[in-house]
Amino acid sequence: MKQVEDKRFSRYYALSKESLLSKFKTSEDGLSDQQAAKLLKENGPNALAQGKRKNIVQRFLDQFKDFMIIVLLVAALISGLVAKEWADAALILAVVIINAIFGVFQESKAEEAIDALKEMSTPEAHVKRNGKLETISSENLVVGDVVLLEAGDIVPADIRLLDSASMKIEESALTGESVPVEKSAEVLTDEDIPLGDRKNMAYMNSNVTYGRGVGIVVGIGMDTQVGQIAGMINQAEDTGTPLQDNLNSLGKTLTWLILIIAAVIFAVGIFNNHDGLPMNELVINMLLVAISLAVAAIPEGLPAIVTIILALGTTRMAKRKALVRKLPAVETLGSTEIVASDKTGTLTQNKMTVEKVYQYGKLQDASEPISGTDKVLQVMTFSNDTKIQSDGTLVGDPTETALIQFGFDHDYQVEDELVKEPRVAEVPFDSERKLMSTIHRLPNNKYLVAVKGAPDMLLQRITKIQVTPDEVRDFTDADKAEILKQNKGMAVQALRVLAMGYKIIDQVPTTVDSDTVENDLIFAGLIGMIDPERPEAAQAVAEAKKAGIRPIMITGDHQDTAEAIAGRLGIIKPGDDNTVITGAQLDQLSDEEFDKKVQQYSVYARVSPEHKVRIVSAWQDKGKVVAMTGDGVNDAPALKSADIGIGMGITGTEVSKGASDMVLADDNFATIIVAVEEGRKVFSNIQKSIQYLLSANLGEVLTLFMMTLLGWDILLPVQLLWINLATDTFPAIALGVEPTEPGIMDRKPRGRKSSFLGGGIGSSIVYQGILEGLITLGVYGLAITFPVHTTNAAMHADALTMAYATLALIQLFHAFNVKSTYQSIFKVHPFKNKMFNIGVATSFIMVAATILVPGFNGLFHVTELNMLQWSIVLGAGVLMVLIVEIVKFFQRRADK
């Protein structure tokens, strides 16, 4: 039933006036108060429905659903209750809670978009009730109400026009149409007319820029086109980012592995029982060791470290005009493979601009000089209703303001000229004849008739042509053919073409109308206009392609315009076939057919909000990470459905910003490429932190496992936990602010299936973790073999202290290795990052203090080391760096 209703709703444009009045049981005098009250009670107010909202407590609790977070909470509980390590338990809890607070604080709320839609609605509407004109709250509108619209009004509901007088409505936020749409009341009989071509419809929240009209309300609230968009925003599910997917997968894998290893160590310790302890004491000791290992091995600081790295990334991006509303969006940009961009206001400037001028038989660029005495310049600025404000701003139809701006740009004093040659009469623009004429009194008491309009309509009224600034001759068929050729040439380039004509008359006709004024005209010239691409957009598209990112254009504008702009930007190449598709053509494809063909299309024209969501979903079904940019209400559902929605900060509606993950403060498409580079840098640095943490933790696990297996003295829980606290946090965070590595934008996007352990990171973690463990065990063995003290207790105490110091400090040396996966540390400027230097130094002091500061020895069960022993410990750290450098050297040779 719902589908049938939607179909009927979409075809109100095909019903006659009589059918509409009959269907809604109304008349041209409007509804009665009784009818309106009854309908308001039955259908509810003309307002948008609110999606179900989560309160702040629910959002906070949602942060704890991650598997790794749950395990950490369990580990904290066991650490406190069983191991009595309350300090460590408190630390883990603090990390988890801080991470949750960050998540709640940064989480973007979909209902902000709905709130913004509601705020856009006009508070009042002019309706006919009981045959009288009334002004009522727009929320009290009902279907069947007869509404009056005039220039300056915001359309209060979806309306089928019954009458239109030169009315134009600006619909770019809804349809993507770059110029106001001329409206008429004529019945449209074609099947499935795209939204932007329904000339007899006025849609909620669009703006009347010219003329006036009368219409009947056919949709209110959620039954309007804007309501459908609000419904799609409410229903859209938040897409998990690649970062979140990677962290969840990594967390589960690590947690299970660590729990298994801890269980094995517990079992081996019980089985060996080298010290001959009673079973109850042995079980407690090994349980403490297993728990300590699990807590030390699980990188509990990882969620917080990732959050901090992302937060630092958002700060850097904000300085570069990219404002991030969701933390994971920082990294998502780095894995983006498809950038689906709206055209109007995103790739283009969202303002009509004169680009070509044809006069005296020559076509010239708008930037070339033009004389103030040329009639084409005079006509375009005289036959014009633009209001010039005292501060110089222009108010009016975008096409007409562009003509005035063209005059300003060529030092034509429009206001002064209009004072000298004032307007005395006019024939307003009419959508049927597609012309506008004004009459101006000249200083010699004659009158200038200035006419502008559609070339085909104006040429019917031309009898002469201006061939030089001083010469006018009769208009010939050859002249007409040449003008039509120029018109077609500009139209092929998606330019909107207007023709200019004029004549000089001795007196103003008694009756001023088209028949008396618009005849025997002199052809002055043509002008070609377009909403031009942003100057930096073409370079940004080229850089995106170089980075392996595919840009596609999705717009509500006409196919020719979209194709021309896409060609100028380099999104498509001239001569490319089957790269452009319209919304109507898309409707003819099933989901299965579109899924097979989606990769061949780079430009989508005349599309609706539903189409945009479908396009984004089709690419996501291919496993691609999709970024969607947009500034209009019609972009909001796709912005929310995309992996990362990018709104425009200046021209964007609050609706599009509310549905976005990131907002461009400068509306600059090139800023996206800057943000992509920052996203790739963030991923690379998170990857470095993970490599550092996991290789260090693997070294700890291997050391403890082998000590248990060999029956050696085992590092105590307090020692393991202090190593974890001292060496994990500061260097890992500092690695998150490493400078961008050269060539990062020459790599292909990672995509959704990429892993933090990909690109050789996983194998590096394994061999480097094993290396850390073996070197630590080697130092312990060396200390036992060549003891400083002769007593058994002192010898083992020294060996355990050296192993403790080596395991901690070797990680700090290894942090320098991790600055680059393959590059030598001597090429990446090892001491360039001041935060890294401070972090490593702080960690070193924290470890050394437990051995060197009096009183700490007993707390951490360590002994003082002499210079030789310290030399061995530090030498082990240097050995770690040298071995990894040798491995990197052979890896680079193998890659070449």
Tokens of residue 229, six digits = 């968009």
Q: In whole angstroms, what is the distance from residue 620 CA to residue 643 CA? A: 8
Tokens of residue 132, six digits = 């009288």
CA 456 to chain centre: 42
- Tell me which of 87-101, 336-350, 731-745, 827-841 is least confident: 87-101
pLDDT-derived band at 274 (thresholds 50, 70, 90) equals low
CATH number of 353-530: 3.40.1110.10
Q: Where are the alpha helices (DSSP H) in 736-866?
A: 761-785, 792-817, 834-852, 856-860
Would the pLDDT of 277 be above 80?
Answer: no
Residue 297 parent element (H or E): helix 279-297
- Tell me which of 50-59, 394-403, 472-481, 861-870 is least confident: 50-59
Would the pLDDT of 788 be above 70?
Answer: yes
Would the pLDDT of 673 be above 70?
Answer: yes
Angle between helices 111-120 and 225-235 (to 10 degrees): 170
- Tell me which of 640-644, 683-687, 738-742 is least confident: 738-742
Would the pLDDT of 245 be above 70?
Answer: no
Specify the pLDDT at position 654. Answer: 67
Specify the pairing of strand 626-630 against strand 201-202: unpaired
Q: In whole angstroms, what is the distance from residue 149 CA to residue 231 CA? A: 27
Would the pLDDT of 461 be above 90?
Answer: yes
Top pLDDT among 666 and 604 is at 604
Would the pLDDT of 505 be above 90?
Answer: yes
Specify the pairing of strand 626-630 against strand 644-648: parallel
What Å distances lie between residue 718 and 341, 573, 744, 761, CA to CA?
55, 65, 41, 30
Tokens of residue 434, six digits = 């597609």
Quick one: CATH architecture of 2-51+114-235? Distorted Sandwich (2.70)
Specify the pLDDT at position 651. Answer: 72
Summarised one tens digit per residue, pLDDT across range 566-589 is 988 999 987 677 789 998 899 899
- Using DSSP, state whether 213 is helix, strand or coil: strand
Domain ranges of the chain: 2-51+114-235, 245-319+675-895, 328-349+535-669, 353-530
What Å distances lie between residue 137 and 141, 149, 209, 222, CA to CA?
7, 15, 21, 17
Secondary structure string (H, E, C) spanning 544-555: HHHCCCEEEEEC
Q: In whole angstroms, what is the distance from residue 640 CA to residue 388 CA? A: 39
Tokens of residue 197, six digits = 């071509």
As a whole number, the mean pLDDT across the chain is: 83
Would the pLDDT of 86 be above 80?
Answer: no
Top pLDDT among 29 and 827 is at 29
Summarised one tens digit per residue, pLDDT across range 168-201 is 888 876 776 667 888 888 888 877 787 778 889 9
Top pLDDT among 268 and 545 is at 545
Distance in Å from the first CA to the final CA of the chain: 64
- Phi and psi torsions of 801, nearest 5°: -65, -45
> Per DSSP, what are the bridge partners of residue 770?
none
Which CATH fold would you assign to the domain 245-319+675-895? Answer: Calcium-transporting ATPase, transmembrane domain (1.20.1110)
Q: In whole angstroms, what is the distance from residue 91 CA to residue 97 CA? A: 10
What Å distances lie between residue 381 and 185, 195, 407, CA to CA?
30, 32, 7
Specify the pLDDT at position 9. Answer: 45
Give the mean pLDDT of 42-64. 73
Top pLDDT among 58 and 786 is at 786
From the number of C-beta atoms within 10 Å of its C-beta (0-12, 13-18, 19+), residue 498 rates as buried
Q: In whole angstroms, what is the distance from residue 569 CA to residue 552 CA? A: 11
CA nearest to 581, candidates 601, 562, 566, 596:
601
Specify the pLDDT at position 51. Answer: 55
Q: In whole angstroms, what is the distance from residue 840 CA to residue 695 CA? A: 16
Tokens of residue 436, six digits = 């506008």
Helix, strand, coil tally for the chain in percent (to 5)? 50, 15, 30
Tell me how far apart the 2 most distant CA atoms of the chain are, in Å.
126
Give the mean pLDDT of 624-647. 84
Q: In whole angstroms, what is the distance from residue 462 CA to residue 465 CA? A: 8
CA dihedral angle for residue 709, residue 714, residue 718, residue 721, rounded to 10 degrees: -40
Specify the pLDDT at position 198. Answer: 87
Would the pLDDT of 843 be above 70?
Answer: yes
CB within 8 Å of 249: residues ≥ 6 apart: 755
270 and 677 Cβ atoms separated by less than 8 Å: no
Give the mean pLDDT of 631-651. 81
CA nearest to 809, candidates 865, 887, 889, 736:
865
651 and 350 Cβ atoms separated by less than 8 Å: yes
CB within 8 Å of 323: residues ≥ 6 apart: 317, 649, 662, 663, 664, 665
CB within 8 Å of 301: residues ≥ 6 apart: 95, 693, 728, 729, 732
What Å distances lie between residue 460 and 464, 475, 490, 588, 595, CA to CA?
11, 11, 20, 40, 49
Q: How many residues appear in the chain?
A: 896
Q: In whole angstroms, what is the distance from residue 889 CA to residue 400 CA? A: 66
Would the pLDDT of 164 be above 60?
Answer: yes
Specify the pLDDT at position 117. Answer: 42
Catalytic residue among 88, 145, 153, 342: 342
Q: In whole angstroms, what is the distance from residue 635 CA to residue 645 CA? A: 9
Would the pLDDT of 864 be above 60?
Answer: yes
Give the mean pLDDT of 38-58. 76
- Tell me which of 234-238, 325-329, 344-348 is least confident: 234-238
Q: In whole angstroms, what is the distance from residue 837 CA to residue 723 CA? A: 18
Question: Sign of the CA dihedral 273, 279, 282, 283?
Answer: positive
pLDDT-derived band at 114 (thresholds 50, 70, 90) equals very low
Specify the pLDDT at position 5. Answer: 37
Specify the pairing of strand 462-468 against strand 521-530: parallel
Q: In whole angstroms, what is the distance from residue 866 CA to residue 875 CA? A: 14
From the number of C-beta atoms within 10 Å of its C-beta (0-12, 13-18, 19+), residue 694 rates as buried
What does DSSP assign to residue 49?
A: P
- Tell me which of 120-129, 295-304, 820-829 is least confident: 295-304
**Prediction pTM value:** 0.68
Specify the pLDDT at position 6. Answer: 42
Specify the pLDDT at position 118. Answer: 45
Would the pLDDT of 618 be above 50?
Answer: yes
Q: In whole angstroms, what is the distance from residue 604 CA to residue 884 CA? A: 51
Percentage, residues of the chain above pLDDT 70: 86
Specify the pLDDT at position 799. Answer: 92
Top pLDDT among 148 and 103 is at 148
Catalytic-residue membership of 798: no
Would the pLDDT of 116 be above 70?
Answer: no
Q: In whole angstroms, what is the distance from residue 264 CA to residue 286 CA? A: 11
Among the four given CATH numbers 3.40.640.10, 3.40.50.1000, 3.30.590.20, 2.40.30.10, the one describing domain 328-349+535-669: 3.40.50.1000
Give the mean pLDDT of 626-632. 84
616 and 638 Cβ atoms separated by less than 8 Å: yes
